Structure 1
């Protein structure tokens, strides 16, 4: 009985520590829940940018086709080419992560949008 109790006490810290270790394709959150860092983005998505309007993204995996809130249309390649969540070409950069899109353009405030 004493051995079982001692083994249980020794295993609990190891289990708690193991729950915070990220998997190969994810990252650990504060609660120990793994969040998939390579979550596949939908092919078509509309992101709400608050008072700025909507950002429409057609994700072609190696590039994106954007319709900015002001109606401008932009095509951006993956940057670097192996990426599926970061896209850019001067003066633009776009980062897609989970339900958020961060659009940056030289000379303008970054625009954070969510779907």
Structure 2
């Protein structure tokens, strides 16, 4: 049996709105949509952009349960980009939606 771990992130209001829209389209929860983007949809060869629109005052917290392997992948990527897992996930989601709107 795989052991479950969790991580959290806080995303900007706009990113959360886009997650909610995608959640309604797909019928998945917001957390599942976020994990789907992180582990199936995001092209990690693209440059990860900083979400400068983010403020903690208007942020939305998302907590996700993942496997040890998934958390290790995120931790390795965060270390590679010299940021926390929370910030990495926030920036990946921002980059994903930014690329979709281009």
- Common fold, TM-score beyond 0.5? no
**Could you state the TM-score of these two structures normalised by the residue count of structure 2?**
0.25
**Larger RCO (CA under 8 A, 6+ residues apart):** 2
**Could you state the TM-score of these two structures normalised by the residue count of structure 1?**
0.23
Please identify which structure carries the higher strand content.
1
